[in-house]
Amino acid sequence: MSDFIFARNLVIVLLTAFVGGVIAKRFKLPILVGYLLGGVIFGNFISYYFAIAETIRSIAEIGVVLLLFTLGLEFSLTKLKDLGEVVIFGSLIQVLLTIIVFIIIFPLMGIDFYTALFLGCVFSLSSTAVALKTLSDKGELETLHGEIASGWLFMQDLYTLPLIIILPTVGLILKGEGSGIGNIFLFSKSIFFAFTSFMLVIFLGKKTLPFILEKIADLKSRELLLLAAVVFCLVFAYLFQFLGLSFPLGAFVAGIILSSSSTHHGIFAEVRPLRDLFSSVFFVSLGFILNPLFIFSQGMNILGLVVVVVLLKFIISAALVFLLGYHPKTAVLSGFSLISVGEFAFIIAVLGLTSRLIDDKVYMTILSVSFISLIISVPILTVSDKIYYRLNQIFKKRFRFLTNFLSKFHPASQISDIDLSNHVVVLGHGRVGKYICRALSIVQIPYVVVDYNHKLVKSLRLSGVNVIYGDPAEIDVLEFTKIKQAKAVILAYADRHTQETVVLNVLSLNPNIRIICRTHFDEDQKKLKSLGVDSVVQPEFEAAVSMTKELLHLLFFDTTVIENKLRSLRVYQGLD
């Protein structure tokens, strides 16, 4: 009978996850939000008729372990070398500063010190899944602010490791359990474990585990490789639990260690389906626990906390990116990417509740604030460009003195006079723009570059390139390029949301100029053409054309036939 009850409860939970996922997709929300919504909407109703709490708890524990293991697998220790100061130092300062500010603010609201510390730690983290999914849907992962946000989120997830280790120890000390010397020893022990864990991850990740897994991979058995990875995950998890730490934390560290192996992609592909299945139960279980009546009864307090958390995280993150020398647009868009409360907040909250570090009310508050912040972050991030330009207009009209003051923080914003005519204006010096500029240099065509990556601008100036620091969507910046005397302008960046503004501004300054624009989306081609763009280039389509041409040559097609076929393909795509 117990087996039947377990199977019945599992079906109910998975069906709830499916319905919630469908709802999320219909409203273009992340599927994670759908799982939470499904749990909230159906949780109380189902729990009234069926006792499924124990089943959910058992399956959710497996889900947490697999979720943390696969999140660890997605880390790359070597990637830390490529992350600049804005990501490494900026993210660390943001987390610490957020915690400190909450420790100051929350006691003023009647919250005790440790709860304020716990809430500060939880709310300082942002949602990797939601932010990266939204940026990916907008095609902005490869933009400057997209790269900063993804690197920042990467580091935030890594900071979860010491937080999970240190928070329980601080809780025991503040509760007065044990002697003073014992508490000092306990805190020192937690710091030691946090530091040792980092060192262990780096050492094993670089030296030992990759070698062992590559030897197992040489056996050419996918099953043995997967089995070895799962065994290592569980052994490490039990080891952490034996040392008095968290079982899921051990799985997370195991994943980070395995991420340095050349086999981690294969392991991730094998584990991911199980992870998705069980982690969906975990997030549904959170929705089951989240009581709508609690949100209604504490409505003003919850909404007030959401506003404080979202605004504070945005201001701190954007200010740090700006003070590290980046353009206000990059700072603002990066800040919007970090306003949500992340997946690890749920996991830390569960660990805090089970360890009796926080009570049910605090736990429910964390779930409520995190849940609402996830939902509102998606539409805000979707229209973040429009919000930035609206704020920019307001500041320029009403707070001109502040705009002038902030511009002094950027030496790169000092624009030198450029004496050019019959030149080309290249907007964006990224992976596409740099090759265009190299080609223009080879054929000796004068050009000027516009970019808002201050480090890149400084480097180009040292190389003798005519470059202007600024946002190409601002008409003042375009005027500095002497666009009225230019023959052509190239939109080489991938920011589809500002292209329309740029094209209109360019044509208002020089109606006869030739415009070439890059886009990644089929639906943007007709719109750009209707605005007056002469040529629209889609990199993915051009790559397909080149590969098709090579393929037809290999298959011995006649050159004339190949050209006719490719021309037909371009006509079909609407490019000719």
The pLDDT value recorded for residue 316 is 93
> What's the pLDDT score for residue 293?
79
User: Poorest-confidence range of 100-109, 379-388, 487-496, 517-526?
Assistant: 517-526
pLDDT bin (cut points 50, 70, 90) of residue 413 is very low
pLDDT at 312: 92
**52-72 b/e (C-beta count within 10 Å ≥ 16 → b):** beebbeebbbbbbbbbbbbbb
pLDDT value of position 1: 44
19-23, 151-155, 272-276, 349-353, range with the lowest pLDDT: 272-276
pLDDT value of position 426: 92
Q: What is the dihedral angle through the alpha carbons of 248, 253, 256, 260, rounded to the nearest 10 degrees? A: -140
What is the model's pLDDT at position 165?
73
What is the pLDDT, as a whole number, of residue 310?
92
pLDDT of residue 11: 79
pLDDT value of residue 309 = 92
Mean pLDDT over residues 32-50, rounded?
A: 73
Per-residue pLDDT, averaged over 371-391, amounts to 83
Q: Give tens-digit pLDDT for 432-461.
A: 888 899 999 998 889 999 988 877 888 888
Containing 247, the helix (H) or strand (E) segment is helix 247-258
At 226 the pLDDT is: 76
Spatial separation of the C-alpha atoms in residues 506 and 486, rounded to whole Å: 10
Domains and CATH numbers, the chain: 62-387 (1.20.1530.20), 416-537 (3.40.50.720)
Top-confidence residue, 338 or 532: 338
Q: What is the pLDDT of residues 75-111, one digit of tens each?
A: 665 555 555 667 778 888 999 999 999 999 888 878 8
Beta-carbon-side half-sphere exposure of residue 91 (alpha carbons within 13 Å): 24
At residue 466's C-alpha, the angle toward residues 464 and 471, to 5°, is: 135
Question: pLDDT at residue 370 above 70?
Answer: yes
Query: For every residue of 504-566, which 3-state class applies, written as one string?
Result: HHHHHHCCCCEEEEECCCHHHHHHHHHHCCCEEECHHHHHHHHHHHHHHHHCCCCHHHHHHHH
Gap between the Cα atoms of 471 and 480, Å rounded: 12
pLDDT in the model for residue 47: 64
> What average pLDDT does this structure show over 49-55?
65
Residue 489 pLDDT grade (very low, low, confident, very high; cuts 50, 70, 90): very high
Token output for 297:
């009864």
Write the pLDDT tens digit of every residue in 349-359: 877 887 788 88
What is the reported pLDDT for 490? 92
Cross-strand bridge partners of residue 193: none
- What is the mean predicted confidence (pLDDT) over 329-350? 84
Residue found by looking up tokens 């809780």 in the block? 171
Q: Looking at residue 42, what is its pLDDT?
A: 76
Average pLDDT score over residue span 304-333: 89
Average pLDDT over residues 386-394: 81
**pLDDT on residue 228:** 80
Give yes or no for residue 313 having a pLDDT over 90.
yes
Q: What is the pLDDT of residue 100?
A: 92
Reply yes or no on whether the pLDDT at 414 is more than 50. no
Residue 311: partners with Cβ closer than 8 Å, 6 or more residues away: none
Please tell me the least confidently modeled range out of 134-138, 139-143, 197-201, 556-560: 197-201
Give the confidence band of 311 by pLDDT, cuts at 50, 70, 90: very high
The larger pLDDT score, comparing residue 278 to residue 332, is at 332
What is the SS3 string spanning 132-181? HHHHHHHCCCCCHHHHHHHHHHHHHHHHHHHHHHHHHHHHHHHCCCCCHH
DSSP codes, 15-75: HHHHHHHHHHHHTT--HHHHHHHHHHHHHHHHHHH---HHHHHHHHHHHHHHHHHHHHHT-
